[in-house]
Structure formats: structure tokens, C-alpha cells
């Protein structure tokens, strides 16, 4: 199956993590992953509230690769309800765990904003469930085509 790679992954540990007001969400999750030696994981759930949300979108009409002039940066003071995080933790080529997260958050108006998360500070609380996946060999590499780091799954194009 052209254009598709996969890995069947066993489930590993599962963590419920809670962050306190003022903490930098993304940075803390990476620090947590290092502290418990969590190298391959996926965010199952994230709920809470955030402020000083910094994220990026891709400009309409942009072509690949994604380069800084093709992104739009956003900084929203908030606070906002945190509606979700989507993404995964994977080691990079040097073996350091990295975190790729997309964020969804709601303004007071009910309007939902989101994009590629740089970071945000926790407002009232933030509760995250992480699920470890046993995926030895899967790494995050810079995609030359895409311009962004992406999961690299060796040796298993789909059947």
C-alpha cells in the first residue's frame, strides 16, 4: 500500500499527570517523559485551562516544505478552556524524547482556536492521560519533503 507505513505497537504504561497553575504545559510534559523514561507515547486525553497560548498555523495556499514564511504565529493571552491535545512523544535521531502536540482551546465566546502548540501556561488545572506505546525503532526525523519533524517507521510499508 503506497504512501502508508505502520507498526503494530504493544501498549505499555499509562500515566495520569496533573499540572499546577502557571506551569509551562509542553515543557513539563517533556520533562516528565524524561523523568520516567517514557520514550514512545500518545496523548489519550487532556483537559483543563491555559493562558499565554502560543501556537502556529499553516498559511492558506502554502506549498511544501513548511518553512517559517509559510506559517502564521499566534499568541493568545486568554485564559482559555483547554479542549484537547493531540499528538505523540517520540525520540529524535539523537535519542532525546520530543513532543509533537496540536492544541484546541476555547475563547470566552465559545470560538475554538488551535494549531501546532509551541507552549502554554496552565491556568486553573491541567489533567493529561498519556499511554506508552512499545515502538522501539520509531523516531522523529526531519522530513525533507514536509519541512517538519515527522514519525519515521522503519521497514514496514503497509501490506
| 97 lies in the site for its own copies, by CB under 8 A | no
Largest CA distance in the chain: 47
- Determine the Cα–Cα distance for residues 80 and 82; give it in Å rounded to an integer: 6
Q: How far is the CB of 97 from its own copies (least distance, A)?
A: 15
Site string for its own copies, 1-20 (x = CB under 8 A): xxxxxxxxxxx-xxxxxxxx
- Determine the Cα–Cα distance for residues 132 and 145; give it in Å rounded to an integer: 28
- Determine the Cα–Cα distance for residues 87 and 128; give it in Å rounded to an integer: 12
| 103 lies in the site for its own copies, by CB under 8 A | yes
Residue 63 DSSP label: -
| 141 lies in the site for its own copies, by CB under 8 A | no
Q: How far is the CB of 39 from its own copies (least distance, A)?
A: 13
| 39 lies in the site for its own copies, by CB under 8 A | no
| 91 lies in the site for its own copies, by CB under 8 A | no
- Determine the Cα–Cα distance for residues 83 and 73; give it in Å rounded to an integer: 20
Collapse the DSSP code of 27 into the 3-class scheme (helix H, G, I; strand E, B; otherwise coil) and give the result: helix
| 46 lies in the site for its own copies, by CB under 8 A | yes
Considering only residues 104 to 133 of the shown chain, the ones binding its own copies according to CB under 8 A are: 104, 106-116, 122-125, 127, 129, 131, 133
- Determine the Cα–Cα distance for residues 135 and 133; give it in Å rounded to an integer: 6
Q: How far is the CB of 122 from its own copies (least distance, A)?
A: 8
**Residue in 89, 97, 101, 120 binding its own copies, rule: CB under 8 A:** 101
Amino acid at each position: 500500500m503506497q504512501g502508508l507505513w505502520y507498526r503494530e505497537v504493544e501498549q505499555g504504561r499509562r500515566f495520569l499527570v496533573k499540572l499546577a497553575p502557571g506551569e509551562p504545559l509542553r515543557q513539563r510534559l517533556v520533562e516528565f517523559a524524561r523523568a520516567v523514561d517514557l520514550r514512545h507515547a500518545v496523548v489519550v486525553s487532556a483537559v483543563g485551562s491555559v493562558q499565554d497560548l502560543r501556537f502556529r498555523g499553516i498559511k492558506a495556499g502554502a506549498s511544501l516544505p513548511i518553512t517559517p514564511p509559510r506559517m502564521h504565529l499566534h499568541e493568545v493571552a486568554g485564559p482559555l478552556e483547554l479542549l484537547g491535545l493531540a499528538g505523540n512523544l517520540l525520540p529524535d535521531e539523537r535519542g532525546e524524547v520530543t513532543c509533537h502536540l496540536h492544541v484546541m482551546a476555547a475563547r470566552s465566546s465559545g470560538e475554538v482556536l488551535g494549531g501546532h502548540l509551541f507552549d502554554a501556561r496552565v491556568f486553573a488545572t491541567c489533567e493529561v492521560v498519556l499511554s506508552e506505546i512499545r515502538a522501539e525503532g520509531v523516531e522523529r526525523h526531519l522530513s525533507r519533503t514536509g519541512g517538519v519533524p515527522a514519525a519515521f517507521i522503519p521497514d514496514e510499508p503497509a501490506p
